[in-house]
Amino acid sequence: MEMRDHVPKALRHGKKGAKQQRIAAALKEIEAQRRRLEEAAVEGRGEEVALQAAAETALRKISGERVLDDARRLRKAQKQMRQKKAKSREAWAGGSYTDLKKQKKEREKALARQERKEANKQKREAQRGDDGPDSEL
**Confidence label for 9 from pLDDT (cuts 50, 70 and 90):** low
* pLDDT reported for residue 1: 45
* Nearest CA among 23, 11, 16, 35 for reference residue 66: 23
Rounded to an integer, the average pLDDT of 39-67 is 92
Cut 0.85: pTM above it: no
* pLDDT reported for residue 30: 94
Q: Are 78 and 68 in contact (CB under 8 A)?
A: no
DSSP state of 24: H
**Confidence label for 134 from pLDDT (cuts 50, 70 and 90):** low
Q: Are 103 and 97 in contact (CB under 8 A)?
A: no
Residue 21 reports pLDDT greater than 70:
yes
The domain ranges of the chain are: 3-94, 96-127
